[in-house]
Amino acid sequence: MGLLLSKGTDKVLANEEGQEYKLEGKDIFIKGTDIELPNVYARMQFTANPDGRTIVASFKTYLNHDKFIEGKEIDTTIQTLNFDFVILETEVQSLDVALSYSAAKFIDLGYNAKIIL
């Protein structure tokens, strides 16, 4: 399982004080080029720490799932590929939870993210 990451859409959000701000959707480029990618496949590795509440997740990006199978990683302009999460007491450390938190984090960063096989 992994994430399909694509260019985010611009959104107007509100902070805790109710003030609105604009979150601009981010493009995805092959690093060091002007080649824009419509999407990439992000494959996750995660650690469920012994405390039962924290997860460390890291990602590698591939052009698509086939390139992942071939082991051909691609370097993109997605700057954050590592996350630390503290999950709720009602949640269990698992791949599904780690992917869910990671998808939400990528969305917060300005990308669209969908969990896929």
Express each pLDDT in 54-94 by its tens digit: 999 999 999 999 999 999 999 999 988 899 999 999 999 99
What distance separates the 2 farthest-apart alpha carbons in the chain? Answer: 48
pLDDT of residue 76: 97
pLDDT for the residue numbered 87:
97
Confidence of residue 116 (pLDDT cuts 50, 70, 90): very high
Higher pLDDT, 43 or 117: 43
Amino acid 79: pLDDT: 84
Range of the domain at 96: 2-116
Number of domains in the chain: 1
